[in-house]
Chains A and B, each alone.
Chain A
């Protein structure tokens, strides 16, 4: 056997014969048994990530009030939401900050509170029209009171990313957390060998329409993510040296498990949002299996100096995930402490939950409707 199809895999899922392992387990398995034997055995590999990503938000429909209102200025728990949609539709962005509490309570917290079953207070005003005469509404609502509520991430699952350091003489407060002065620490984000797009670097199976595990709900890859930089420089294994590709994700908020959603507050920066994502990769052929078997020793990130306030920042060193995960990295003779921003523990739970969902026949694989380009280059803003 040299190839496997989606149909064959889904048939095995239906009959309960499918063999699924996580993207961590596959590394050791291939080391132990070799590509040929493992290819015969394993049908699906589960990947997962759980890290902060600012480009997140939710579309909500509240249902019509009586008399009706065209909501133009909207807040939810004092967090401004977008009034630029139809009468009772809104989009609440995860990074939007509370008018009263600032970034300690943002759009991410509103979404989290909704998923946790808490009541949130909607306040909206409109100018009043013949068809929407009501000018102001204040109402406490729960997720179950809404018609539709879905999470939409214009960008998630960065293929690879930077490890952040600060060489300046002052602490820096960034979306990569607090970076201590004088190379005091390195923060990095991604789950390494478990990370979805590191396992499918040329987007052969992860594309538009791919079914995903999205905080416990069934979700889909909706589009390529923003800043989709697939034409980036790559190493000898095809892994992007910098960010690379990203994914736009969508899923039903009402089906989500609050254990896999978390607002993230970065001191001196703002609110962000973490959501658990699990993506199954079908082992279609041995070339794909070879990519899946790459270990943390062979996955690299650039250590980038975040003290330079310019678009292009200097790279101090290229380090492997194994080095980053060891707790410290040598930077020009100094042992610098490293810490992750994504939760590997949560990601492992997700990879396992997705594995069980596939094994028990609850989760079938969806072949992408359209594959992503490997030639897309992200531009900076027009100068």
Chain B
């Protein structure tokens, strides 16, 4: 099962090898999309996680027991269909092909390809792309 996690580390966990354990103990494949930590080792990690669902569940228990907060991110952005005029200018800003135009010029959002860079939110002239979940965190 593949899912995206936003993991928030309080400064008390800086000395614990949490990511190491996720890989080693729970056999998870981690793909770090974005990470941001300050001098106090306080920060956030946005990762794509791949593994067996029971392992992910156990890993989440482990994370929480360490005092770290993990949230599933189902969608990094959402496109307001009422405001979007489907011009498509976001598609050239989107590096990961998560926003594309179909043959008939409809805008498609491929959630699985989105890496949460939030560039589309900035470039959308209609301000129709919102909920950059990780924009506040990272």
Contact = CB atoms under 8 A, between A and B. Distances in A.
A272 interface: yes
Interface string A235-273: 000000000000000000000000000111111000010
B127 A342 contact: no
A353 interface: no
Size range of the interface on B? 20 to 34
B106 A345 contact: yes
Contact of A178 (B101, B104, B122): B122
Contacts of B87: 51, 340-343
Nearest to B128: A262
Interface stretch (A118-126, A151-159, A179-187, A312-320): A179-187
Contact of A348 (B93, B105, B125, B127): B105
B130 to A, nearest CB: 13
A73 interface: no
Contact of A340 (B88, B106, B119, B126): B88
A24 B83 CA distance: 26
A338 interface: yes
Contact of B125 (A177, A344, A346): A177
A272 B93 contact: no
A228 interface: no
Contacts of B101: 327, 339
A11 to B, nearest CB: 35
Interface in A87-132: 104
Given A187-B92, A337-B91, A262 B85 contact: yes
Contact of B89 (A340, A345, A348): A340
Interface of B: 83, 85-93, 101, 104-106, 119, 122-123, 125-127
